[in-house]
Amino acid sequence: MPARLSHLDVLESEALHIMREVAAECKNPVLLFSGGKDSIVMLRLAEKAFRPGRFPFPLMHIDTEHNFPEVIAFRDKRAAELGERLIVRSVQDSIDRGRIKLRHENESRNVMQTVTLLDAIQEFGFDACFGGARRDEEKARAKERIFSFRDEFGQWDPKNQRPELWDLYNTRVHPGEHMRVFPLSNWTEMDIWQHIAREKLAVPSIYYAHRRDVVWRGGWLPVSHLVQPREGEEVKNIMVRFRTVGDMSCTCPVESDAATAEAIILETAGSRITERGATRMDDRTSEASMELRKREGYF
């Protein structure tokens, strides 16, 4: 008998199986790559699934232009290293073309990505989009299928999901409809970091502890051109790292000294706050905010 498989081996094999099913059954898939840690793991899994061949799909990033510059630089470098095609569609373009109306200039662009994403899916005629979402992230995601059907408006109907049995995935859609496919559904934040450590994956530097100017607004917010200190706010320079990398205007770092993947694993094991709870101001709006966004077609 070969050596016993670890939980990471089993999760990895499941993800490879999912990716290969999409490659075999869907006509025009795409992998959503943001430069964040989950999508970095997805790229390694795609290498494991398809090498020595090329990826049977392009990569696509929906760029809010509120991203951390380190993440965008990482995104471009990684796509180039892999020699795979990267499509970028920008929320700013959607704003300029009048597809999105802003209420104020520096508003969070997380929600707006949905418009740009659905437009891009239509533009290229994608019938399957790989996403890096995990079920441990959030309550609504906990109920979403690995192969999540979207109607012709890109919408998710949580009460009317296809039953998902064994690992026999029903990939069939009519023209105009599509699938969101989540190979990391069964992974947790801990599994992701264990995989990053095991595979020695490079991630954007802001995931590791560094000094940064922040202001306190119910959570530490990084000072940037989008977040300027207000009257009476004290700017502090502290050691932080980011647990998620999203829109700079609403993504909070956590105080940390963890400078390696191994140190983050130790910190994650002791953490008492969920990943999104610690870092995403936009998720705090209401108990249902992710569910509502997902219904509209969000990632």
Q: What is the largest CA-CA distance in the chain?
A: 67
Contact in structure between 222 and 214 (CB atoms under 8 Å): yes
Cβ proximity to other proteins, 198 vs 210, nearer residue: 198
Exposure pattern of 90-121 as b/e (b: 16+ CB <10 Å)? bbeebbeeeebeeeeeebbbbbbbbbbbbbbb
Cβ proximity to other proteins, 245 vs 290, nearer residue: 290
Q: Closest approach of Cβ 297 to other proteins, in Å?
A: 17
Q: Closest approach of Cβ 98 to other proteins, in Å?
A: 31
Q: Which two tokens stand for residue 61?
A: 């990033």
Q: Closest approach of Cβ 253 to other proteins, in Å?
A: 16
What sections of the chain are H helices per DSSP? 7-25, 37-50, 69-82, 91-96, 113-124, 189-199, 261-270, 275-279, 289-296
Q: Give CB contacts under 8 A, 24+ apart, made by 193-201.
A: 193/37, 193/261, 193/264, 193/265, 193/268, 194/8, 194/265, 195/8, 195/12, 195/41, 195/44, 196/37, 196/40, 196/41, 196/261, 197/261, 197/262, 197/265, 198/8, 199/41, 199/44, 201/40, 201/41, 201/44
Q: DSSP letter string over 200-227?
A: T----GGGS-EEEEEEESSSEEE-SSSS
Cβ proximity to other proteins, 7 vs 77, nearer residue: 7
Cβ proximity to other proteins, 170 vs 224, nearer residue: 170
Q: Closest approach of Cβ 48 to other proteins, in Å?
A: 4
Q: Closest approach of Cβ 163 to other proteins, in Å?
A: 5
Binding site for other proteins (CB under 8 A): 1-2, 4-7, 9-14, 16-17, 20-21, 23-24, 47-54, 135-136, 139-140, 142-143, 158-159, 161-168, 170, 172-174, 185-186, 188, 190-191, 271-274, 277-278, 287-288, 291-292
Q: Which two tokens stand for residue 101?
A: 């109306």
Cβ proximity to other proteins, 64 vs 279, nearer residue: 279
Cβ proximity to other proteins, 92 vs 188, nearer residue: 188
Q: Closest approach of Cβ 152 to other proteins, in Å?
A: 13
Q: Closest approach of Cβ 277 to other proteins, in Å?
A: 3
Cβ proximity to other proteins, 153 vs 229, nearer residue: 153
